[in-house]
Amino acid sequence: MRILGFESSCDETAVAVVDGGHQVRASVVQSQDELHETYGGVVPEIAGRAHAERIGTIVDRALAEAKTSFDEINAVAVAHRPGLIGSVLVGVAAAKSVAWRLGVPLVGVHHVEAHLWSGLLEDSVPSWPALGLVVSGGHTSLYRVDAPFQCTVLGRTIDDAVGEAYDKAAALLGLGWPGGVRVDQAAQQGNDSVYNFPMPNLKDRPLDFSFSGLKTALRYGVLGLPGTTTRKPEELSMEERNDAAASFQKAAVRTLIRGLRRARKQHPDVQSLLVGGGVSANSRLRDELESFAQDESLTLRIPPMKWCVDNAAMVAGLACVRLQEEGPASLSLAASPR
Ligand code: KG4
Ligand code: ZN
């Protein structure tokens, strides 16, 4: 089964060709970082337009890289929710057009659930049930996964996603955009004990997360309290930036691992741990996930760097199972922001 996958839910335009759910023949991802950099965040209108302008060329590149043609495509998959609606719509329209023109099945998958498949590309399916953790710029969600399409949400962020907190931390520290990777690099040079940032606990909601307080603590701790003489990000020394980034990263990663530890206690039958999303590229999170999985005797599936960020290979991969188990979607498949 050769599937052509589309992903356009935020600011990456991506098309992939995947065989049998796991074998990635091509994965083309065009980032829009340069279009949004001056705004310090994704501008939905610019993102939607850029997807529309670029997607046709990216399909051609993916087919060429996969050394295949439309005639050999057996199904078309698209992440049809959630995301910026103007962006998701571009992928959905493109996928529907190709599926209709080729007369092959169309499959819609949930973008966040697809992130959990990214660690299974070029690898085997682990034993179920699993815990799933998706950490990205838009989502921080903890799942119990009984099978690829049986994902139950155990917890999620009640405010900022962890990636969003990283991006805001980068802005506060004058590190620029995109933020996550820059905070990660700065943190590797810093001392994580200089600042004691909080790990918020939500009363009666042990598996939910909150990251907006961490960002505020960083602002007050490093730039000063409102009403006092506050500093500007550009006034910070390199050492202060690195120490603040390291202390922030320690609190953010420990909060995620604490959530996993609590979920593990509530679900002692889980065998595996699936992790995905842009923040799964984080060096400290990867190290701590390895240790956690080892301590808990869980099989860890975490994607290589190239599949941590949004990509279409994870969409085409998961779609293969969905098609086998649930059949195709209709051509009236709706794009949805949620
Ligand atoms: O999954 P993704 O590409 O897009 C969304 O669906 O949101 O994730 C992007 C997020 C951004 O917030 C980015 O700052 C963060 O992932 N990110 C990182 C790292 N690399 C990317 N955060 C922390 N450490 C990193 N190394
Ligand atoms: Zn994503």
Q: Is 138 in the pocket of ligand 1 (CB under 6 A)?
A: yes
Q: What's the gap between Cα 158 and its chain centre?
A: 17
What is 2-118+307-326's CATH topology? Nucleotidyltransferase; domain 5 (3.30.420)
**Distance in Å, CA 180 to ligand 1 centroid:** 6
Report the pLDDT value the prediction gives residue 203, as an integer from 0 to 100.
84
Q: Is 281 in the pocket of ligand 1 (CB under 6 A)?
A: yes
**Distance in Å, CA 11 to ligand 2 centroid:** 10
Q: Exposed/middle/buried for 1, CB within 10 Å: 0-12, 13-18, 19+?
A: middle
Is the pLDDT confidence value at 200 over 90?
no
Report the pLDDT value the prediction gives residue 10, as an integer from 0 to 100.
86
Q: Do domains 2-118+307-326 and 128-303 have the same CATH topology?
A: yes
Q: Is 134 in the pocket of ligand 1 (CB under 6 A)?
A: no
Q: Is 141 in the pocket of ligand 1 (CB under 6 A)?
A: no
Whole-number average pLDDT of the chain? 94
31 pLDDT tier (thresholds 50, 70, 90):
confident
Report the pLDDT value the prediction gives residue 41, as an integer from 0 to 100.
76
Tell whether pTM > 0.75. Answer: yes
Q: Is 276 in the pocket of ligand 1 (CB under 6 A)?
A: no
3.30.70.3270, 3.30.420.40, 3.40.190.10, 3.20.20.80: CATH of 128-303: 3.30.420.40
> Which tens digits make up the pLDDT trace of 302-323?
999 999 999 999 999 999 999 9
**Distance in Å, CA 85 to ligand 1 centroid:** 20
Is the pLDDT confidence value at 84 over 80?
yes
Domain ranges of the chain: 2-118+307-326, 128-303
Question: Mean pLDDT, to the nearest integer, of 13-34?
Answer: 94
Report the pLDDT value the prediction gives residue 202, as an integer from 0 to 100.
87
Report the pLDDT value the prediction gives residue 39, as an integer from 0 to 100.
81
**Distance in Å, CA 111 to ligand 2 centroid:** 6
Is the pLDDT confidence value at 242 over 80?
yes
